[in-house]
Amino acid sequence: MKPEEVLIIANGIKKESIPLSREIEAYLDSVNIKHSTLMTMSTSDDVIIPYSTDLVISLGGDGTVLYVARKVHDLGLPILPVNLGTFGYITEVGKDEWKEAFERYVEKGDNLSRRLMLKVSVTRNKKKIFSSYALNEATISSSGISKVVKLELDLDNTYAGLFKADGIIVATPTGSTGYSLAAGGPILMSDISAFIITPICPFTLSNRPLVTGSETYCTIKVSEGQRTEVVLSVDGQSSIALMEGDEVNIEKSRSKALLILSHKRNYIEVIRDKLNWSGEMHA
């Protein structure tokens, strides 16, 4: 379906943003599609999405599309994530491929991927003090360096245990190739409906990553007697300091991120190339 109005959200720090946004604007003019462009300098920038927008083009890297996904979450808008460097795990559309991916979406619509997102909130003294959405992960950890925190995990109101670790990551399948992977978590196919709960450097070796169904309601409580400050980070971009007794509640969001992908490569090809699954040694 041909969009009537497109919003371009570009990472203004990357020098390629301006010439590429102008190239896209010229193309949209040629096919009679209304458009506007927003240049952002930080993932904390507060952007206003015009009500008439029906497609967003993200110019930057994976960080930019994570930012855009949270901003358009409630609007259900498809996102064309264009990478201004080499293709990323999420932004697999190269800067020379955007037009082909866009036209494929308009003509066939078979390159749209629906990605699970997390709904994250913090309750303090029975009052909700923070809420956000995440496409990759929510992380509860020490705000210091190499400090062990104590976190109590409940799954569907069943106590799952006390974790002494550098923190806990709750990731989506999209986020399985990010921080969770670096902490020893598994890679999930992007269309699986599941969460990954990954302890970060646990004190007890029996604390292993856990994959749960996406209908699971996850609560992580900050235990009493912490020896360091504790922080919640959402997609590595939005954060809040936590206090002892705070509860971080994580569940599946009702809406999904709608990502327009390249038809030139699939998810397996992306992770194969990014992780160098060639059978050879890599320094």
Strand partners, 108: none
- CA distances (Å), 240 to each of 121, 172, 202, in order? 10, 20, 22
Distance, CA of 252 to CA of 216 (rounded, Å): 8
Q: How many whole angstroms separate alpha carbon 99 and alpha carbon 22?
A: 13
Tell me which DSSP letter residue 201 carries: S
Instruction: Give Cβ neighbours of residue 121 (< 8 Å, ≥ 6 apart).
Output: 128, 130, 131, 132, 248, 249
Q: Please list, in sequence order, all residues whose beta carbon lies within 8 angstroms of the beta carbon of residue 83, skipping any fewer than 6 positions away.
A: 60, 61, 62, 91, 92, 93, 94, 95
Closest among 78, 135, 133, 137 to 109, alpha carbons compared: 78
Q: Which residues are catalytic?
A: 62
